[in-house]
Amino acid sequence: TEHQHVRYNPLRDDWVLVSAHRVKRPWQGQLEKPPPEDVPRWDPKNPLCPGATRATGEVNPTYEGTFVFPNDFPALQPDAPEPDDNDHPLFRAAPARGVCKVMCFHPWSDLTLPLMSLPEIRAVVDAWAELATELGASYSWVQIFENKGAMMGCSNPHPHCQVWASSFLPNEASLEDRSQRQHLSQHGVPMLLEYAEQEARRKERLVVENADWLVVVPYWATWPYETLLLPRRHVCRLQDLSDSEKDSLASVMQRLLIKYDNLFEVSFPYSMGWHGAPTGSYLEEDCRHWQLHAHYYPPLLRSATVRKFMVGYEMLAQAQRDLTPEQAAERLRSLPEVHYKKRAE
């Protein structure tokens, strides 16, 4: 817990430097602004609100649950032209086609997932699975991700996520595909299924669990309070979950996100995303090496205003973290599961 060492990340086939003593150093650097507490429930100028007009002139319906619409500024489009032929192997390009969607979790802007009810979170899970099925019929990769908070680049204070479907496997997906395939070939069991069983037994990095799911600070975590959400049984894709597993997923997500908010008593920023077996043409292939999982990458390190910066050594050498995953897990595990905003109710 006091001495630096490196840990291997089998999912990405790389290493992270653990320097637990560095969290004790004095801080006179950047302080972030805490997220606003006075977000209006409905704002006609907020393009994600029911009935609001978006940049394209489209008017949102007066939705009462989840709401999905095409991203008005998509990074991927289905009709992108072929790139020019390459005249040298050092100058390669390839086609990139896809679609981008936005999904609002709830009509109220002043809510986040940990403050939503379990049926409301379950509706989000259902919408994720439906989008994964719909877009996965045509595209090789469907990336569901949520950037929560201005610190993580979220430009709109409204509970929502994005879904980008692409004709190619992105870098992280390709890394995880290769490493999981190799593990199954060498050990005869999916990597993350074996990993979940090990973490459930060891418990030192466990944050929350229920009958179907567990959340751990992974042994190889890079971000200070990074977590990995894993099913207990072998599941390749979101759309493969049973109804009871979707219910228990809503519950374990709510418990985790309440703990995140309670850590520094602030609406906790993070980037999260689902990784599952590729889709499109891969639906016809053997993808047993894949295990569905979700990554949570929160930046906060010391307080609501002091974040972890990935600069210098991290950019030029390798990832480095300032406290051990076991210390982070113990702190998260010990937090109450009643949201700090509801304790006085």
Q: Give 150: exposed, middle or buried? Use CB within 10 Å, 0-12, 13-18, 19+.
A: middle
CA–CA separation, 254 and 310 (whole Å): 28
| Closest-CA residue to 336 (of 282, 259, 244) | 259
Task: Pick out the residues of the known binding site.
Answer: 22-25, 55, 71-72, 147, 153-155, 162, 176, 275, 293, 295, 308-309, 313-314, 320
Q: In the prediction, which pLDDT does 303 show?
A: 87
pLDDT of residue 306: 83
Q: How far apart are the first and last CA of the chain?
A: 39
Model pLDDT, residue 242: 98
pLDDT score for 32:
65
Task: Quickly count: other Cβ atoms within 10 Å of residue 20's Cβ.
Answer: 18
Sign of the C-alpha dihedral computed for residues 177, 215, 108 and 39 taken in this order: negative
- Consecutive 10-residue averages of pLDDT for the chain (345 residues): 88 94 57 75 95 95 97 95 90 95 97 97 98 98 94 85 98 98 98 98 98 98 97 98 98 98 94 98 97 96 86 94 94 96 79
Measuring CA to CA, which residue among 157, 165, 162 is closest to residue 52? 157
The predicted pLDDT at position 79 comes to 93
Distance CA 247, CA 169 (A): 29
Cβ atoms 152, 145 nearer than 8 A: no
Element (H or E) spanning 201, and its range?
Answer: helix 191-202
Token pair 């995953």 in the structure block, residue: 325
Q: From CA 108, how far away is CA 213, in angstroms rounded? A: 28
- CA gyration radius, the chain: 20
16: CB partners within 8 A, 6+ apart: 6, 7, 9, 220, 221, 222, 318, 319, 320, 321
How far apart CA 343 and CA 14 sit, in angstroms, is: 42
Q: Are 85 and 103 in contact (CB under 8 A)?
A: no
Give the pTM: 0.95
Question: Binding site for Fe cation: which residues?
Answer: 176, 275, 293, 295
Place of tokens 């989000």: 124
Q: Is residue 289 among the annotated active site residues?
A: no
pLDDT of res. 267: 93
CA nearest neighbour of 156 among 76, 77, 102: 102
Strands (E) located in the chain: 5-9, 14-18, 67-70, 98-104, 141-148, 160-166, 206-209, 213-216, 227-231, 270-275, 293-297, 319-321
CATH 3.30.70.100 fits 39-82+93-336, yes or no: no
Locate tokens 């200070």: which residue?
224
| Set 106, 158, 160, 183: catalytic member | 160
pLDDT tens profile 79-131: 989 998 888 999 999 999 999 999 999 999 999 999 999 999 999 999 999 99
Q: Which helix (H) or strand (E) holds 44?
A: none
Which positions ≥6 away from 240 have C-beta within 8 Å?
A: 292
Binding-site annotation, residues for UDP-alpha-D-glucose:
22-25, 55, 71-72, 147, 153-155, 162, 308-309, 313-314, 320
CA 125 vs CA 78, 105, 144: distances in Å: 26, 10, 11
Q: What pLDDT score was predicted for residue 24?
A: 59
Return the residue matching tokens 């500024």. Answer: 73
* Count of CB atoms situated within 10 Å of the CB of 218: 23
d(CA 99, CA 335): 39
